[in-house]
């Protein structure tokens, strides 16, 4: 990454650094630009990862809901097969209607 790329529109800064002809200063400015660019990239990646984490959490919640529904259905079917006679009769009547 060059100074020109980091400071597009900031030609006066680039000219001042070039006029000083100080390689240490130039190197530090380039390093700063690279760090700033990396910070932006890391922030974008962090947002992407947090969205993925959220999506995974929502999918897990849906799985839990489906498992609970399946468990409830199994309990109802178990009551229908092994429960007291009045429950069996009620379940039969519900299915009939």
Residue-level pLDDT at 11: 65
| Helical (H) or strand (E) element with 44 | helix 23-82
| Residue 42 phi, psi (nearest 5) | -65, -40
At 42 the pLDDT is 96
More confident residue, 32 or 92: 32
pLDDT in tens, 55-75: 999 999 999 999 999 998 888
**What is the four-CA torsion angle of 22, 27, 28, 33, rounded to 10 degrees?**
130
In this predicted model, which residue has the larger pLDDT, 23 or 92? 23
So where are the chain's domains? 3-96
CA distance 78 to 91: 11
């Amino acid at each position: 990454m060059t100074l020109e790329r980091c400071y597009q529109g900031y030609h006066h800064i680039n000219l001042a650094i070039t006029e000083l002809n100080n390689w240490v200063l130039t190197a530090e400015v380039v390093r700063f630009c690279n760090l700033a660019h990396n910070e932006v990239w890391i922030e974008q990646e962090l947002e992407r990862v947090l969205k993925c984490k959220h999506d995974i959490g929502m999918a897990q919640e849906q799985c839990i809901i489906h498992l609970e529904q399946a468990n409830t259905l199994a309990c109802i079917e178990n009551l229908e097969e092994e429960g007291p006679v009045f429950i069996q009769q009620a379940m039969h009547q519900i299915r009939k209607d």
